[in-house]
Amino acid sequence: MTEKFIIKGGTPLKGEVCVGGAKNSVLKLMAAAILAKGETKIYNVPDLTDVEIMLNVIAQLGTKTAYDKEEKSITINAADITDITAKYELVSKMRASFIVLGALVARCKEAIVALPGGCAIGERRVDFHIKGLEALGAKIKIENGYVHAKASKLTGADIYLDIPSVGATENLMLASIMAEGSTRIQNAAQEPEIIDLANFLNTMGADVIGAGTSEIIINGVKQEDLRGIEYTTIPDRIEAGTFMTAIIATKGKALIQNVLPAHLTFYTDKLLKMGANIKLVEPNILEVSCRSRLNSINFVTQPYPGFPTDLQSMAMVLLTTANGVGIITESLYENRFMQVPELRRMGADIHQDRNHAIIKGVKKLTGASLCAPDLRAGASLVVAALMAEGTSSIENLNHIDRGYENFENKLKLLGGKIERTDSSPEVIRNETYI
């Protein structure tokens, strides 16, 4: 039987919830750990399927790894790299694993990494990665679905990215850590996860300047300058934004712990304009609440520090029952409105025109049988089900499990009526909600 969530909506979320480590950061830190020949320990690691996949990727290279789920830590000993190939069977499961390309080229001067293939939310090209590696001196061949990069010596270079690609910025940062001379990445991505990676590398002994701005400079160091370290991952800003949305959508009031508010400034500002209440009660704790119907506003996704595409589907859920009409423009990915047909099944009034979605607020959403089409769209359907009248079922939980640790348990702590089951919806409703 297929696992699914059964959610009974209409209960305001209340209490406290703690945000875990940032998925989009820890995966890159794990890849970066193979640069040093010592042992590295990373804390605040969420228990996610994506983390498990990355563990398998780097273990296949010859590293020794251990995951302590109680301590939420990963230990990586990269004293020996015995294989320079990241196979398609693993890379195809998670695009982020392509990041080992830069680390392997830096450490071993050679890498064979499978092309990650398609992506449900739209095209994510790797030509920026490859052009940047070529600028550093690597010879690139693409054959049989693999990128084969080889360099007898890497030399610092000026690299301009046509778009501020997060993946390309990270891959080129890793590749240039031990390059001779200095590397300058212009039009670099500025996300908090880029800063976290730079801080990790600098703690390891690298020399990275300017992370968090559009220009990053990497001064090359020697292999012996890099050492194993202990490091704590930043909190997950997208998970924090998801819980903010769920609390507001259900007209609840709750505390969100382990938050870096500066990472959520743009989303917080939008929620306040819609009529939500958000207060910083301690440096890393937000109080979020909402009592009245929200007002519609417009959203345009942009690279950080603009409105994050990973929270676009959350914003859409809030607009479905807000006063007036709101427009969302998705400027980053061509296929990131996959939640639209599912929200329509719940009664939402949404008109989609290419990369624009026009949402006219309705009085309420109603429960329906739903299917998670990808990670973020799937999580938004959970929020929609929590705010809807009646009971919903959501299938394809493998997408949601990629990015949310103990999602249903955290929602239960807030009073959400949600169960994971492989039984029929009728059985679970009778067992759980009598």
At residue 423, the pLDDT reads 59
- The predicted-structure confidence for 5-19, as pLDDT tens digits, reads as follows 999 999 999 999 999
Percent of the chain with pLDDT over 90: 89
Q: Which token pair is 141?
A: 């061949």
Q: Is the pLDDT of residue 269 over 90?
A: yes
Write out pLDDT tens, residues 30-62: 999 999 999 999 999 999 999 999 999 999 999
Tell me: do 72 and 178 sit in the same domain.
yes
The pLDDT assigned to 333 comes to: 79
Contact 374/310 with Cβ under 8 angstroms?
no
DSSP codes of every residue in 163-191: S--HHHHHHHHHHHTTSBSEEEEES----
pLDDT given for residue 294 in this prediction = 98
pLDDT band of residue 118 (cuts 50, 70, 90) is: very low
Question: What's the one-letter identity of residue 411?
Answer: L
Neighbouring-strand partners of residue 142: 147
Say if residue 228 is in the same domain as residue 318: no
Q: Which domain holds residue 272?
A: 4-20+235-432
249 and 385 part of one domain: yes
Q: Which of 232, 248, 275 is the last residue of a domain?
A: 232
- DSSP structure class, residue 382: H
312 and 323 share one domain: yes
The active-site residue out of 18, 119, 290, 371 is: 119
pLDDT classification of 93: cutoffs 50, 70, 90: confident
The confidence score (pLDDT) of residue 335 equals 80
- The single-letter code of the amino acid at 333 is Y
Quick one: CA dihedral 334, 401, 397, 13, positive or negative?
negative
DSSP 8-state secondary structure symbol assigned to residue 95: G
Give the pLDDT confidence of 232-248 residue by residue, as tens digits.
999 999 999 999 999 99
CATH code for position 212: 3.65.10.10
Distance of alpha carbon 156 from alpha carbon 260, whole angstroms: 33
In this model, does residue 117 exceed pLDDT 80?
A: no
Each residue of 366-375: pLDDT tens digit?
Answer: 999 999 999 9
* Active-site residue flag, 119: yes
> Using the 8-state DSSP alphabet, how is residue 263 labeled?
G
The neighbouring-strand residues paired with 351 are 358
Q: What is the mean pLDDT of residues 165-193?
A: 97
431's enclosing H/E stretch is: helix 425-432
pTM value is 0.94
Task: Based on the fold, state whether residues 11 and 33 are members of the same structural domain.
Answer: no
**Mean pLDDT rounded to a whole number for the chain:** 94
Q: For strand 182-186 and strand 158-160, is the pairing parallel, antiparallel, or unpaired?
A: parallel
The reported pLDDT for the residue numbered 424 is: 53
Q: What's the structural domain count of the chain?
A: 2
Q: What confidence tier does 430 reach under pLDDT thresholds 50, 70, 90?
A: very low
> Does 293 share its domain with 186?
no
**Length, in residues, of the chain:** 434
**134 and 239, same domain (yes or no):** no
Strands of 417-421's sheet in order across: 369-371, 391-395, 4-8, 417-421
